[in-house]
A and B are shown apart, each in its own frame.
Chain A
Amino acid sequence: MTTIELANVSRWYGNVVAINDITMTIGPGVTGLLGPNGAGKSTLLHLISGFLEPSRGTLTVAGAPSWRNPDLYRRLGLVPERPSVYGFLTGQEFVRATARLHQLRDPDRAADRAIGIVEMAEAQHRRISTYSKGMRQRIKVAAALVHDPELLLLDEPFNGMDPRQRLHMMDLLEALGDEGRTILFSSHILEEVERLSGTIQVIVAGRLAASGDFRAIRRLMTSRPHVFLLHTSDDRRIGSALIGSPAVTGVEMTGRGLQVKASDYGAFSRQIAGLTRDQGVQLRALLPEDESLESVFAYLVES
């Protein structure tokens, strides 16, 4: 069981604070690190992977600090964001060299296995300089997996991947997470994080804005109204009835249905059934409009 624990970690460069007092725990499973560009996701990953020293606070990975701790890499795999990699080596040579650096007992077999996992067996004898961006990403993941680490850190892993490769990588990460490994990946693309991870950590301007299950996060934000879309037999009638309820802050007739903004999610969901029955209106569908990570993210960024 490998956990990453941060306690009041800050990192600054002169006057610029890149990471501002972050406390969090990351456990087994897939966790997504979400945030806009420049929020500090890469900085955080570099801190966790031992390639940056915290200016303040304590950061431990599996119980020990990651800074100046090369032995940690026996249990940690890192897929950095920069696309540079030894272009003059073939894919196989690169992964095998990494295996040897990890002092694995059978480096060649471990390398073959890792290359197989990322489905790069066909291209492994070509030089990495001839690879496309997505292929380079995959070979980097193979190198990060060759020593079977319990911890995997990936910085924007889906950059430059086509949809098929992205799907495959997501399946791979999900499978690894299900095996009990701790997987942390960063992204500023909401769909990736939404689809892959249950737990997210949202970083905005160096601060931890939210962590946990994104639906749960959503529900915590009672200061913002929840938005629902209703399909009924008489939108206008239900609309005028709803506006009388204190749990509802807004009602709008749109071409797609009746859009209702509810400030109190619980009260609204309790009232809607009774209301429709009393008004004699048939409720055909009740859809949450902003359940997706997109609206969570947008609210957080705007705040």
Chain B
Amino acid sequence: MFSGQAGTVASITLRATMGRKRAFLFALPAVILILITALLKIAHPSAPDWPSAILGEFGFAVVLPLTALIIGTSVLGAEIDDGSVVHLLATPVRRSTVIISKFAVGAVLTMLFTAVPEVIAAVIATGGLTRLAEGLFVGALAGSVIYNAVFVMISVLTTRAIAVGLLYLLVWESLLGNFVSGARILSVEQYSLGIANSIASDSNLNAHLGVVTAVVMGAIVTAGTLILAVRRLSAFSLKGDTV
């Protein structure tokens, strides 16, 4: 497909990630989001601001992180797990090229499975392309990028990337983020909500960070985790076989 080193890595990653039944797992949260939104729209609930609750809390606390987790840990994690990454690394390709290409594929795929469904659901819920819809779209785009950087880094650091990522999402973002305000400064969910809120200006989104903080911290986290991932990949070791 694409040529050049980055293109080759991206092409292989794309085919590896989208092949097989895995793709079904990516789409599941998004499909559920759209279905629930549609059903609620039909059911005419009394609460007037239910769209921001569903699309904000459900979308940004569940759909976005979980989809990013599955995608972000599989763009590199699967290859490291079964050892086929050696074929990639036994070439002169820069490790930074590998990380960036895989991260880019993951981020774009996540955007496809989160930002697009978010805006579709928002349109269904609010009847049009409102500021809420735009805000959610941009917030999900940003979240896709930041989450993927974090999860790609985690999959370089450990073979149990999904479990560790889950610990982060459930313990750090969900549990602590709701009770400890200090934890919010290091929560990707808050960055995404902050960015979404700057456009949507909807207090039901429960965004605790201002847009400047969110963007700056998001950029720092993205860059920092990717740099860490590149350094660790440069020191990638194969365990000698015990047999």
Contacts and interface: CB of A to CB of B under 8 A. Distances in A.
Q: Is A in direct contact with B (CB under 8 Å) within the complex?
A: yes
B8 to A, nearest CB: 5
Contacts of A89: 12, 15
Given A18-B240, A52-B237, A70-B95, A78 B90 contact: yes
Nearest to B95: A70
A101 B92 CA distance: 7
A71 B92 contact: yes
B12 A86 contact: yes
| From B7, B95, B242, residue with most partner A Cβ within 10 Å | B242
A125 interface: no
B16 interface: yes
Interface residues of A, number: 38
A98 B91 contact: yes
Interface string B110-137: 0000000000000000000000000000
Nearest to B5: A101
B88 A101 contact: yes
B236 A101 contact: no
B87 A70 contact: no
B89 interface: yes
Given A74-B92, A88-B19, A51 B238 contact: yes
A100 B12 CA distance: 12
Contacts of A52: 237-238, 240
A187 to B, nearest CB: 13
Interface in B63-96: 82-84, 86-95
17 contacts: A42-B240, A46-B238, A51-B237, A53-B237, A68-B235, A70-B89, A70-B94, A71-B92, A73-B90, A76-B90, A80-B90, A82-B86, A86-B16, A101-B88, A101-B93, A140-B87, A144-B90
Interface of A: 18, 37-38, 40, 42-43, 46, 49, 51-53, 68, 70-74, 76-78, 80-82, 84-86, 88-89, 94, 97-98, 100-103, 140, 143-144
